[in-house]
Amino acid sequence: MSPFQHVGFVGLGKMGGTIATRMVGNVPKLTVFDTQPAAVARLVDEGAVSAEDLISVASTSDILFLSLPSPAIVRDVARALPKSPSIKIVVDLSTTGPQVAAEVADILAERNLKMVDAPVSGGLAGARTGTLAVMAAAERAVFDQCRTLLATIGKVFFVGERPGLGQTMKLCNNLLSATVLAVSSEAMVMGVKAGLDPQTMLDVINAGSGRNSATQDKFPKSVLPRRFDFGFSTGLMYKDVKLCMEEAERLGVPMYVGPSVRQIWLQACHELGPDSDFTAIVKCIERLAQVEVQGSTPSQART
């Protein structure tokens, strides 16, 4: 069980709501807040307590979790938090980038709050099963206090004491994820256009050196059945790659593949919409190649 008696959670979108649902049975009391009443109602049905506003949840919790969609919103929420005699630690599960994480840590310090920079990876499936990769950066003593609670949502990695190191780890991870999904889409479309069976392609790739997270999980579960429901948006993937490129530039690290990947995801946002599932990126290649990667039989589109 959690060492904290009262846990607060702000941000109940797809990822946050799924993580909070898993927490319900693992903490003595979970109070939640979101600007969308329907999202709060779903958690209340699971056993959580609803808060009227951000101040209410922050003022009554021992520890506060944030799972928010953008760096600007995380910054705004941090600025809105009170100097509460109750809350001592804020755990940010969002992806904001290292510079915003450091800024947020300073804002929280002004309120006598400690920050755990703890972005996660593993998608909705990992959030549901408690198998997320949790990349935590915090003062060691603060991390040790939170480790048991963080372990209820996934495998916890201590990546350093400086706020922002968790974000850097997440951006490196997502650059790789974005790259392999984009290039796997190109390879799969090329094979199908040439007459290969897409399932056979995946079987061969996953038994060989081309194996990656896209060919092992995303294509079999979401692309071939044409569900496009893996649970992460095109817009969020573009945001993460963009943040990664900005950080690489700040650090003076040359990148050549990364900028091309950023451009591919920007185009996907324009073509598919930022709210589309990120596995739908294959549609951008399919449209140009006039072929569809579907089921076990290649389907040629009409010219």
- CA 188 to CA 167: how far, in whole Å? 31
Q: What is the CATH number of the domain that holds 288?
A: 1.10.1040.10
Q: What is the CATH number of the domain that holds 94?
A: 3.40.50.720
Domain presence at residue 125: yes
Where does residue 37 rank: exposed (0-12), middle (13-18), buried (19+ CB within 10 A)?
exposed
153 and 235 together in one domain: no
How much is the pLDDT for 2? 61
pLDDT digits (tens, 9 = 90+) for 260-272: 999 999 999 999 9
192 and 139 together in one domain: no
Mean pLDDT, the chain, rounded, equals 93
Active site residue ranges: 170
Answer yes or no: is pLDDT of 115 > 70: yes
Q: Which of 143, 163, 183 represents a domain boundary (last residue)?
A: 163
Q: Which of 103, 136, 163 represents a domain boundary (last residue)?
A: 163
Domain presence at residue 1: no
Answer yes or no: is pLDDT of 300 > 90: no
232 and 150 together in one domain: no
- CA 262 to CA 271: how far, in whole Å? 14
How much is the pLDDT for 265? 98
121 and 242 together in one domain: no
113 and 191 together in one domain: no
Answer yes or no: is pLDDT of 298 > 90: no
Domain presence at residue 2: no
Is residue 232 within 8 A of residue 123, CB to CB? The reply is: yes
131 and 211 together in one domain: no
Answer yes or no: is pLDDT of 1 > 80: no
Domain presence at residue 203: yes
pTM given for the model? 0.91
214 and 227 together in one domain: yes
Domain range holding 238? 168-300
Q: Which of 163, 194, 228 represents a domain boundary (last residue)?
A: 163
Domain presence at residue 77: yes
